[in-house]
Amino acid sequence: MILDINKVNWPGEYPYCPETKVEVSNDHEALYLHFHVKGEQLRAVTTEDQGPVWEDSCVEFFCQVPGEKHYMNFETNCIGAMVGSRRKGRAEDVVPFSADEMGRIERKCTFPREAFEEKDGEYEWDVEIRIPLDLIFRETKPVFPQKLLVNFYKCADKTKNPHYVSWQPIQLPTPNFHCPEFFGQIVLE
């Protein structure tokens, strides 16, 4: 399935919406995400995993197994540095993925993993991610088809045009992606 990440949730303060799509697929071993972004400005300062990738040109995937209290967040900048954790909220019960777990998440990006300051102009870029299903389904083995509660995001906190867009709308007064109450549903086959 291909989804548009185009909900501008805070248009008064953050109206910019780069063209962003994600293709979602899976097999019985992994979830595959292929993000494609076309927009102005490109920034990639963070090169290490578990660093502030959301400040760069970044795409994000948050998911929750129905019935579980925790959700997972996977945030990746345009050069493949990633944040990954299991949590109950933005700052509640946050357990970052270990270095071994992060190493199991495969990433392929348009740009090499080299830092650069913000560049102006129009850029197109891709991030492909392979997430082993056992990182998502920690408590149970998935039985297919399997429902998953999710949201997808595009952000860049420290660019000239900071933005916070999502696949499913977020009805909060200020930017916050850590809100599973606004997740939508996908079905893994």
pLDDT in tens, 137-173: 987 788 888 999 999 999 999 999 999 999 999 999 9
What is the model's pLDDT at position 90?
Answer: 85
For 128, residues 6+ apart whose C-beta sits below 8 A from its C-beta are 32, 33, 34, 35, 106, 107, 108, 109
What is the model's pLDDT at position 98?
Answer: 97
Q: Where are the domains of the chain?
A: 2-169
Mean pLDDT within 16-22? 98
Tokens of 155: 């952000």
pTM (predicted TM-score):
0.95
The proportion of the chain whose per-residue pLDDT surpasses 90, expressed as a percent, equals 92
3-state secondary structure 96-119: ECCHHHHHHCEEEECCCCCCEEEE
**CATH class given for the domain over 2-169:** mainly beta
Residue 91 has pLDDT above 80, yes or no: yes
What phi and psi, each to the nearest 5 degrees, are found at residue 187? -120, 125
Cβ-in-10-Å burial (0-12, 13-18, 19+) of 50 comes to middle
Question: How many Å apart are CA 53 and CA 94, to the nearest integer?
Answer: 17
Cβ-in-10-Å burial (0-12, 13-18, 19+) of 132 comes to middle
